[in-house]
């Protein structure tokens, strides 16, 4: 009898351990969809969707920056898998009251019962009852959290019966200056790739890359204005050609210069050969036009120089 009792106790202990381990393995971290399964953050003024998260479909997209001082609408879904009517849960926000809406909260699922519901209160309480609760929160992101580096801001917190944090809704808040830097950085990164593709001098490309890295470092340190100025300094009228293109340009220019000298010499030496030479030079000018077009696609500065040589030849032969 004693042996049987020990076996039963041991079995129950093992079962409890297994259940505990299973429960731990299924529990998600705060902010990973344990309770709040999806949410959308929209700009209250423009209606622009700024952030969308849906853990069930693995969606987490930032569509537009969220600025300090912005008025937003946060619509979210709380999934309650089990009923524990004795457990009182609490939704809370630290956002300021909206200037565009009368209250903080709007209940989107009227069948779900809330406790002493007051839309103008920063808190909403309800008992844990199995079901789905959908709420909209209207508020203003405090301007005081503005920083020259992205700030993780908690829009909504879901608290448990003992005040423990069950879940949160969080987004990255930035300043307008930081948004300007990020947009400008993207443009310069695209420009860098085009420089590499067009065969610009390797030394210039390396300098460009170093400037981008330095600008990113400045922004990470909070020196956003300095970083923007650094990126703006990269705007030049024309980039230096590569060594290969420069080497190609010099022989071409030299040949054309010799051709012009020969033509001038023959022009004064004997006008009888002039017509023939004119025909030859006109053919060379046509070839030069095609060369200029191809060179311009690779490097605009070379194309400009070839255009100048071509024009001088044309004026010389009267074309």
- Per DSSP, the residues of 222-279 read T-HHHHHHHHHTT--S-PPBPHHHHHHHHHHHHHHHHHHHHHHHHHHH-GGGHHHHHH
Which of helix, strand or coil describes residue 36? strand
Over residues 251-281, the pLDDT tens digits come to 444 444 444 445 444 444 444 444 544 555 5
pLDDT at residue 292, rounded to an integer: 55
Helix H, strand E, coil C: the string for 137-206 is EEEECCHHHCCCCCEEEEEEEEECCCCCEEEEEEEEEECHHHHHHHHHHHHHHHHHHHHHHCCECHHHHH
Question: What is the predicted pLDDT for the residue at 109?
Answer: 97
Q: How far is CA 123 from the centre of its chain?
A: 34
Residue 38: phi and psi, rounded to 5, are -160, 155
Residue count of the chain: 319
What is the structure's pLDDT at 294? 53
CA distance 303 to 292: 5
Regions of the chain where pLDDT drops below 50: 3, 7-9, 12-26, 244-261, 263-274, 276-277
- Identify the CA nearest to 288 among candidates 270, 301, 300, 303: 303
CATH number of 27-174: 2.60.40
Distance separating alpha carbons of residues 209 and 218, to the nearest angstrom = 14
pLDDT at residue 78, rounded to an integer: 97
- Report pLDDT for 26: 42
> For residue 314, what are the CA distances in angstroms to 12, 30, 213, 272, 279?
102, 76, 47, 20, 12
As a whole number of Å, the CA-based R_g of the chain is 36
pLDDT at 238: 59
Could you tell me the sign of the dihedral formed by the alpha carbons of 204, 206, 212, 214, in that order?
A: negative
What's the CA gap between 301 and 290, in Å, rounded?
16
Q: Where are the domains of the chain?
A: 27-174, 177-232, 243-317
Contact call for residues 107 and 139 (beta carbons, < 8 A): no
Per-residue pLDDT at 79: 96
At CA 148, angle to CA 211 and CA 68, rounded to 5?
140
Kindly report the pTM of this predicted structure.
Answer: 0.59
Give the whole-angstrom CA distance, residue 304 versus residue 302. 5
pLDDT of 239: 59
The separation between the first and the last C-alpha atoms of the chain, rounded to the nearest angstrom, is: 120
- Pair 136, 148: CB distance under 8 Å: no
C-alpha triplet 14, 15, 19: angle, nearest 5°: 120
Cβ atoms of 175 and 142 within 8 Å: the answer is no
**CA angle (229, 234, 238) in 5-degree steps:** 150
The predicted-structure confidence for 152-192, as pLDDT tens digits, reads as follows 999 999 999 999 999 999 999 988 888 888 889 899 899 88
- Tell me which DSSP letter residue 121 carries: S
Helix (H, G, I), strand (E, B) or coil at 86: strand
């Amino acid at each position: 009898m004693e042996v049987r009792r020990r076996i039963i106790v041991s079995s129950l202990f093992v079962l409890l351990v297994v259940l505990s381990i299973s429960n731990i393995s299924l529990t998600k971290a705060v902010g990973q969809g344990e309770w709040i399964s999806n949410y959308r953050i929209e700009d209250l003024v423009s209606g622009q969707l700024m952030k969308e998260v849906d853990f069930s479909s693995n969606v987490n997209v930032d569509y537009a920056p969220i600025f300090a001082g912005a008025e937003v609408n946060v619509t979210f879904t709380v999934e309650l898998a089990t009923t524990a009517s004795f457990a009182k849960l609490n939704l809370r926000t630290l956002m300021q009251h909206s200037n565009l809406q009368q209250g903080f909260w709007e209940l989107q699922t009227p069948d779900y019962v809330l406790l002493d519901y007051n839309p103008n209160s920063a808190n909403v309480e309800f008992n844990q009852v199995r079901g789905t609760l959908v709420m909209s929160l209207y508020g203003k992101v405090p301007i005081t959290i503005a920083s020259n580096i992205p700030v993780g801001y908690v829009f909504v917190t879901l608290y448990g019966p003992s005040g423990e944090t069950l879940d949160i809704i969080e987004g990255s808040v930035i300043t307008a200056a930081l948004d300007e830097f990020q947009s400008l950085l993207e443009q310069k990164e695209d420009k860098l790739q085009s420089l590499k593709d067009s065969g610009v001098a390797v030394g210039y490309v390396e300098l460009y890359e170093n400037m981008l890295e330095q600008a990113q470092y400045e922004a990470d340190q909070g020196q956003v204005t300095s970083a923007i100025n650094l990126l703006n300094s990269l705007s030049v009228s024309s980039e230096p050609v590569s060594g290969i293109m420069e080497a190609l340009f010099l022989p071409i220019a030299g040949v054309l210069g010799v051709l012009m000298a020969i033509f001038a010499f023959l022009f004064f030496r004997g006008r009888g050969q002039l017509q023939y030479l004119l025909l030859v030079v006109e053919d060379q000018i046509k070839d030069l036009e095609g060369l200029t077009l191809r060179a311009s696609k690779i490097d605009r500065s070379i194309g400009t120089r070839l255009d100048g040589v071509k024009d001088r030849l044309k004026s010389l032969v009267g074309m």
